[in-house]
Structure 1
Amino acid sequence: MKLNWKGVFPAITTPFNADLTVDHGFLAEHVRWLIDNGVAGIVPLGSLGEGATLSSNEKRQILETCLGAASGRVPIVPGISALGTAEAVELAKHSASVGCRGLMVLPPYVYSTDWREMRAHVAAVIAATELPCMLYNNPVAYRTDFVPEQIEELAAEFPNLEAVKESSTDVRRVTGIRALIGERLDILVGVDDAIVEGIDAGATGWIAGLVNAFPAESVALYRLALEGRKREAAELYRWFLPLLRMDTVPKFVQLIKLVQERVGQGRVHVRPPRLVLVGDELRQAEATIQRALASRPAL
């Protein structure tokens, strides 16, 4: 079983109603809109999806909605993480049983430790199903850093480990992984404001955030970078960067949901401990969004 990891995969936000229940109607609409705009797959339940605030039952219901909305047009690749290994393994098995076609494997939400323990956790999730897996490396958020040598070790043991989402913010990691294992794994850029540099370094896919509001621009930027059309990519990137940088700060969920609301593709509701933006943060974000919309390029 193989999955095509090339393309733009939105790490989708989880839409909430005013009472902070999941808005399944809009979720389905959003998934269909993203697919219509050319994305290669849908990644629910990740960091941007506020996965840590969702109950196990809510996660299952979100997967059902995404699968129904996608209707097999693109793969659904849920983020698999939990406080404990047993819960993560259970979610992985459930994802396989309902028709998901791949898994994004995260470290535990809270516990960060040495390679022996982190290896045991992700290995248990990868081994739980035969689904293609993508390892999520985000040391900034999770305080666990899967270095290239450790990724090489996992790739040697697990044939169904097919990709890495590299979110260390250091594009040298892309070349470091390639130097060790060649083309054995697909590498996907996991931070929005490193996409062009990441593809230049050898990445072949993008787990994207601002795509939730700007899918056409995201797909266009990815294709221009992948095709080596540097001048056109640089021009679009220059316009997009102030927005893409919203993906790499602590309040990235609030910011991206604000952008979605301003383009008519979502609402700002977030679950505590997150709170909606106010004051100077809100004014600065609004100004950035307004400048971008005023100069939005024709594709």
Structure 2
Amino acid sequence: MDIIAPVVTPFRNGRLDLDLYAEHIRNITAKGVDAIFVAGTTGLGPALSVEERKALLEAAASAARRVIFQVGSLVLDQALALAKYAERFDAVEAIASVPPYYFPRLSERQIAKYFRDLCAATTRPVYLYNYPAAVGRDVDAKAAREIGCLKGVKDTNDSIAHTLAYKRLMPHMRVYNGSDSLVLASFSVGLDGVVASSANYVPEVLARLREYVARGDLERARSLQFAIDEVLEAARPLGYSSAVYELVEIFQGYDAGEPRPPIYPLDPEERAWLRAAVAQARSKLAP
């Protein structure tokens, strides 16, 4: 069961800090993360240029042995170019993409054509990144099966049954849930793993949770899941995409850079509030 981190993208004055990006990846992989998800939602992928995504991939491939590269774009040629660029790196084990978004009336046939074009552009396995809350539509297991060429899915969904349906209909697929609140559930039902943003700030906790599940110690595993949930509940009102940078500093002890507008960094008052709000959960997550 894999722990995959959708890595935060650190900026300094609006520019990528690639050295910090690689350093952060090395830290979390040393603490239990198995693979890196580049340019996902936590990594602000939709707000990055093509050249910025390429730069992130190069840095990630130098720091990690296993990388999944998210290439989704409303400009198909950009998505295809990114998929082809990824062929240069041995560390890239799969290409992932959100379906075309914003346009509300795309048919399942049109979405299938997008993914088939992506599959044809690369020799690497292609994964669906299904995130209905962000994309505005759900590419469920039946729709994914009709696409025909997908080898995996990251399903960011609060229903474990929804995620399990991919495994039921396509047993050959690598199936990951993307909700931090369902890490315990994902490990317990035998998914291939999780893509969890909390792996940025508590990678060692997720590794312990996985170990507890493997040993059948569900009480301890559940306690860790509940403490993670407390952190999520504290961070979400501030804007989780911004708060995750501060959570890295709180739990890992180093500066993780900052997001780039329109994802604004937390102000000093918000940072102080968050640090106080997660103090109790932090004590519960300690070894």
TM-score (norm 1): 0.86
Distance 1:280 1:146 in 2: 39
For 1:295 and 1:232, the matched residues in 2 are separated by: 11
Match of 1:121 in 2: 114
Alignment counterpart, residue 37 of structure 1, candidates 12, 31, 40: 31
1:294 CA displacement: 3.5
- Is the CA contact 2:224–2:284 (under 8 Å) kept in the aligned structure 1? no
Q: Determine whether 1:10 maps to 2:5.
A: yes
Which of the numbers 211, 216, 226 marks the counterpart of 2:199? 211
User: How much does 1:46 deviate?
Assistant: 0.8
Q: Cα RMSD between the aligned structures?
A: 2.3
Q: Which residue of 2 aligns with 1:85?
A: 76
When structure 1 is superposed on structure 2, of 101-110 and 81-90 the one drifting more is: 101-110
Instruction: Report the secondary structure of 1:77's partner residue.
Output: strand
Q: 154, 161, 167: which is aligned to 1:165?
A: 154
Matches within 5 A, 1:202-281: 202-245=190-233, 251-263=239-251, 264-267=253-256, 269-278=258-267
Distance 1:39 1:235 in 2: 20
- Which structure has the highest strand share of the two? 2
1:95 counterpart (86, 92, 98): 86
Contact 1:258 1:267 in 2 (8 A): yes
With over 3 angstroms needed to count, the CA separation of the structure-2 counterparts of 1:8 and 1:25, relative to structure 1, is same
Q: Report if aligned partners of 1:83, 1:111 keep a CA contact under 8 Å in 2.
A: no
Cα distance change on mapping 1:241 and 1:179 into 2, 3 Å: same
Taking structure 1 as reference, are residues 16 and 243 closer, same or farther at Cα in structure 2, changes over 3 Å only?
Answer: same
Query: For residues 229-282 of structure 1, what are the alpha-carbon distances to aligned partners after superposition, in whole Å with 9 as ceiling and x for unaligned?
Result: 312211222222212456877922111111012232333521111112348865
Give yes or no for contact 1:92–1:103 (8 Å, CA) kept in 2: yes
SS at match of 1:176: helix
Shift in CA distance, 28/175, structure 1 to aligned 2, threshold 3 Å = closer
Q: Which residue of 2 aligns with 1:149?
A: 142
User: Match of 1:13, as an amino acid?
Assistant: V
Query: 1:143 is aligned with what amino acid?
Result: G
- 8 A Cα contact 1:75 1:101, kept in partner: yes
TM-score, normalising length from structure 2? Answer: 0.90
Which residue of 1 is the match for residue 60 of structure 2?
66
Q: Deviation per CA, 1:155-212, whole angstroms, max 9, x where unpaired?
A: xx32xx322111121111133233323x221211101011112333442211010111
State the distance in 2 between where 1:227 and 1:108 align: 41
Contact 2:234 2:278 in 1 (8 A): no
The answer to whether the 8 A contact 2:37-2:69 is kept is yes
> Aligned partners of 2:94, 2:197: CA distance in 1, in Å?
19
How far did residue 92 of structure 1 move?
A: 0.6
C-alpha distance in structure 2 between counterparts of 1:219 and 1:51, whole Å: 26
Structure 2: runs of 5+ lacking an equivalent? none
Matched residues in 1 for 2:166 and 2:235: separation? 23
CA distance in 2, matches of 1:179, 1:98: 32
Q: Which amino acid aligns with 2:286?
A: P
Change in 2 beyond 3 A, CA 1:205/1:95: same
Partners of 1:203 and 1:249 lie apart in 2 by: 30
Amino acid at match of 2:200: N
Question: Structure 1 residues 172, 115: closer, same or farther in 2, change over 3 A?
Answer: same
Deviates more, 1:108-117 or 1:256-265: 108-117
Paired letter, 1:102: A
Q: Which runs of 5+ in 1 are unaligned?
A: 1-5
In the TM superposition, residue 127 of structure 1 has moved relative to its aligned partner by 2.4
CA pair 146-24 structure 1, distance change in 2 beyond 3 A: same
Distance 1:125 1:76 in 2: 18
How far off its partner does 1:22 sit? Answer: 0.6
Contact map agreement 2:227 2:281 (CA 8 A) in 1: yes
Q: Shift of the alpha carbon at 1:283?
A: 5.5
Contact 1:137-1:145 within 8 A present in 2 as well: yes
